[in-house]
Amino acid sequence: MELLTLSDQTVTINGKTIPKIYGGFGAGQPAILAKQIAELHGRELFKINQLINSNLDWYEEGIDIINLAILPEYSQIYRNFLLNFYSNDALNASKYIYLLSQQGYALLCRDLKSDLAKQTYKEMIRKYFKMEEIQQHLNITIDQTSGKLSKLLVEITNQFELCKKMAETAGLTGNHAILSASMAVKHFLGYDPLELLGQKQLTCEVQEIHLAPTAIGKKFELSAQKVNKLLEKVGLQESFRDAKDKKCWKPTEKGKAFSVLKDTNKKHKDGRAVQQLMWLESVIPILKESENQSEFIF
């Protein structure tokens, strides 16, 4: 565990001023005590500790949270540091002295559930968890800040990769995922990765229209049912039976490159969207070249 340092920087949130703590989860990484969180959110410390303890399985030790009170080296290394926040008697009586990372703080705010918690969380992300190097403008000379600039670029890169993964998890792909991640990094850190790279616009990705079997059928003067059979014949899809023994279609490994599963405006009884298998326009030449096509034209 990295040593904790108390910065001479302070942050004011909701009219309350707290000093910034660095370390614990990594050199130069901001961290915050549960005691500070209690003060900012207007909660009693024991209630914050109860909330953490009741959801402790959500927190990863050393990544999201550290209980300083149970560390073997606690009394030697951290006691003097914690006297900035606790009285000597309070330290002796404390079973839980939680230190949280940015991610741990986000997990805790999920459970606080109040408008104040939401607003405080946003302010903390913008002010407290901003790296010290990122708060400084890039108009300082390179020879003075080459190390700081490197740390800044590493932080921007790490945040961009994380935000891009979040975008992809949400279903965004390609340029949409890149642009969303870049906007998120600018929101949190104040710098747009694409602008730093001199890329104010991205090359448009090749777009293809998604076609349902009915739309494909109109191009061949075939019914949707016959188009599905044709797609099966050329090895792009295969049938299966759902829980109600209804015949459904899914793409084969070959067909995945030409298909996309899209939500429709219809819903199942449990509220899930009904999905439909759609096909890219590039599937048309494959169907036209099929030797079996003639079998489906009447």
Examine the domain organization and report whether 185 and 93 are in the same domain: no
Q: Residue 201 domain-assigned? A: no
Report CA 183 to chain centroid distance, whole Å: 13
Q: Are 252 and 236 in contact (CB under 8 A)?
A: yes
For residue 221, the model assigns a pLDDT of 87
Q: Is 203 within the bounds of a domain? A: no
Q: Which of 186, 16, 14 is nearest to 117 (CA)?
A: 14
CA-based torsion, 96, 11, 106, 119: positive or negative: positive
Please give the pLDDT value at position 168: 82
The predicted structure's pLDDT at residue 132: 43
pLDDT at residue number 237: 93
Both 156 and 143 in one domain: the answer is yes
Instruction: Say if residue 260 is in the same domain as residue 172.
Output: no
Say how many domains are in the chain. Answer: 3
The answer to whether 189 and 130 have CB atoms below 8 angstroms apart is yes
Give the domain range for residue 189.
Answer: 134-196
Q: Is residue 177 part of a domain?
A: yes
Domain assignment present for 202: no
Residue 100 lies in a domain: yes
Parts of the chain with a pLDDT under 50? 131-145, 291, 293, 296-298
pLDDT at residue 83, as a whole number? 86
* Cα 267 → chain centroid: 27
- Of 90, 108, 129, which marks where a domain is finished? 129
**Cβ neighbours for 130, distance < 8 A, ≥ 6 positions apart:** 30, 188, 189, 190
Would you call 67 helix, strand, or coil by DSSP? Answer: strand
Domain boundary residue, one of 106, 129, 152: 129
